[in-house]
Structure 1
Amino acid sequence: MHYRDFAKQILLGESLEDKLLAVSHVDFTEKIESFDLPTNPGRSSKLKFDNEQTKFPRSASFHLEEKRGLALHFFANHELLAIEMMAAAMLMYPDLNREMLQFKKGLYKTILDEQKHLKLYISRMAEFKIELGNFPLNDFFWRSMEKMKTASQFYSGMAMTFESANLDFAQFYEKSFREVEDFKTANIMKVVLEDEISHVALGAHWLNQWRGDKTLWEYYRANIPGVMTPARAKGIGFDRDIRSRVGLPEDFINELDNFRDEFKVTNRKNW
């Protein structure tokens, strides 16, 4: 299957089977073909975006099985959104050279990780008697996709911001699940964390390839899309050491650590 057909089925297909598409071989030969980003990814009625708001449960409520299940429902939607956005990125940015084909091979490998995470979440949710779509699914991450006009903007937003924040969030929630002796869910978060390290490293690799004489921080700031800010690249309890494991330079880590604005989510006192 050509990579474009693979990505189209994931992005435009409506079922979970489409989103979790697995093929034995993907062809990465050049194919110049225009693609217009759809307003929304294809989703069945149960998986469609919903404007109704559901609050993420506090970690203090995780002794309740239904609250842990609700948290996993949020995480599963994030994974589904990541799969769809990466499929869109494989289609949006033209095959101008061999470098772009390598870029898309990296996206393909990352999609496989995100599919693995989604399956882990869905399986664990089923043990809590919850299915994906039982609660409203938000489109926040998807709305940022239209602002990612270039590959550098995509990786600045996806890997260096959203997935960077998960370096902190995954650790926090792994610990939170362990505290209520839900070791099975905690171990899922550990798997997610290890994969996020490689995803952020891949994003940093490509920004380093493209940044020219700018520092990584300067290039990241110049390419972070829309109204997004580096504040979103941090989760709960900023972990400098794990970002060193990623391979981010110390000056970048310092800038991110010290960055402050009005973004309220990670300034909350109670999680």
Structure 2
Amino acid sequence: MDRDMQGSLIQAAHACLAAASVEAKLESTFAAAAAFRRGELVVPADAPAPEPIGMPGRPARPRLVHPRELPRRGLGSEAGRAAFIHAIAHIEFNAIDLAWDAVYRFRGMPEEYYADWVSCAEDEARHFGMLQARLQAMGHGYGDFDAHNGLWEMAEKTAHDGLARMALVPRVLEARGLDVTPGMIRRLQDVDDVETVRILEVILREEVAHVAAGSRWFRWHCERAGVEPLPTFRRLLAEYARAVLHGPFNHEARSRAGFGEDELRMLEEGLAAAG
């Protein structure tokens, strides 16, 4: 296909961000990812500057509250497990928008960058769909429980800087999933929730690649800016993420996701100093 006849990946990403219903968000994401794989969407050389970041399209529910207002989610009852699964589904729904915003907001990146984040958006949509189906099998749906907006708040804080975005969204907030999901799986195994365990095992395996994409493009930005990754990561953590960085850390998964031993040691030392 002639390049002039191809559609704009930037416009497609914007449409995915704007989609407000669950159905529209998933449908537009899967369609855009498939079109990108077929070579039908490209980043135009003359793409205008991105709009200022704002809230993406999302359904009226769930109600967004401060994290302190969310009840603890015990797994001893089916209602407790449904609330727990809903919280994970909400993270995955936000992650769809985070991936598309990485595509839409940051211009002039290599083609491989856009391929990584389109792939992540598609994965996150599939993860959400699996969790949504699990909720429905339990008699619930997305929006039945309150949620918080912490993931998107970090996207807003880093909208001005691709380096900060790559450091702090995939390598801090999304990497937290690598730390906590094995424990979630064990807790669900204890209550014989085999179906949810199967879903979380898929998510854990695939999230390693998403965090690895963040590591790869964080280091690309550092090289382009002529700065060293470790002190830059330390500075950004202190500036933006002191309140959201928690241990313990899954060293094995984080190593596979592109964290070096020096970074893992710095994270551990930072926790020890904070304690």
TM-score of the superposed pair, with normalisation by structure 2? 0.84
Cross-structure match for 1:110: 120
Mapped to 2, the partners of 1:7 and 1:255 lie a distance apart of 35
1:28-59 deviation line (CA, Å, top 9, x unaligned): 232421222343211232346456932241xx
Query: Which has the larger share of helix?
Result: 2
2:244 matches 1:232: yes
CA separation of 1:116/1:234 partners in 2, compared to 1, >3 Å: closer, same or farther?
farther
> 2-side partners of 1:126 and 1:12: how far apart?
25
Q: Which amino acid aligns with 1:63?
A: G
Cα distance in 1 between the residues matched to 2:104 and 2:239: 20
2:85 is the counterpart of 1:72: yes
Distance in 1 of aligned mates of 2:273 and 2:234 = 17
Cross-structure match for 1:138: 148
Q: 1:225 to 1:122 in 2, by over 3 A?
A: farther
2:199 corresponds to 1:183:
no
Partner in structure 2 of residue 17 of structure 1:
23
Q: How does 1:116-265 map to 2 (within 5 A)?
A: 116-148=126-158, 149-212=160-223, 214-224=227-237, 227-229=240-242, 232-235=244-247, 237-260=248-271
Instruction: Please say if residues 230 and 263 of structure 2, whose CA atoms lie closer than 8 Å, have aligned partners that are also in contact.
Output: yes
In the other structure, the counterpart of 2:52 is 37
Alpha carbons of structure 1 residues 244 and 182: separation in structure 2 relative to 1, 3 Å: same
Gaps of 5+ in 2: 1-6
Structure 1 counterpart of 2:139, one-letter code: K
* CA distance 1:214–1:138, change in 2 (3 Å): same
The amino acid of 1:41's aligned partner reads P
Determine helix, strand or coil for the equivalent of 1:25. Answer: helix
Deviating more after overlay: 35-44 vs 9-18: 35-44
Q: Is the 8 A contact 1:80 1:118 kept in 2?
A: yes
d(CA) in 2 for partners of 1:134, 1:119: 16
Asked whether the 8 Å contact 2:10–2:43 carries over to 1, the reply is no
Which letter maps to 2:18?
A: L
Q: 1: CA distance between counterparts of 2:250 and 2:256?
A: 10
Give the direction of change, closer, same or farther, for the CA distance of 1:233–1:120 in structure 2 (3 Å limit): farther
Q: Secondary structure at the match of 2:100?
A: helix
Q: Is the 8 A contact 2:175 2:211 kept in 1?
A: yes
CA 48–70 in structure 1, closer or farther in 2 if over 3 Å, else same: closer
The partner residue of 2:12 within 6, 10, 34 is 6
Q: Tell whether the 8 Å contact from 1:106 to 1:202 is kept in structure 2 after alignment.
A: yes
How far apart are the structure 1 equivalents of 2:264 and 2:180? 17
Deviation of the 1:77 alpha carbon:
0.9
TM-superposed CA distance for 1:117, in Å, is 0.9
Deviates more, 1:39-48 or 1:72-81: 39-48
Paired position in structure 2 for 1:83: 96
Query: Structure 1 runs of 4+ off > 4 angstroms?
Result: none
CA RMSD of aligned residues (A): 2.4
Taking the aligned partners of 1:81 and 1:126, their CA distance within structure 2 comes to: 19
TM normalised by structure 1 equals 0.85
Change (3 A) 1:251 1:38: closer
Relative to structure 1, the CA distance from residue 143 to residue 119 in structure 2 (aligned partners, 3 Å threshold; closer, same or farther) is same
Deviation at 1:151, TM superposition (A): 1.2
Q: Distance in 1 between matches of 2:19 and 2:85?
A: 23
Measured in 2, the distance between the counterparts of 1:209 and 1:188 equals 32
Alignment check: 8 A CA contact 2:181 2:204 kept: yes
Looking at structure 1, the residues matched to 191 and 63 of structure 2 have their Cα atoms a distance apart, in angstroms, of 32
Runs of 5+ consecutive residues of structure 1 not aligned to the other structure: none
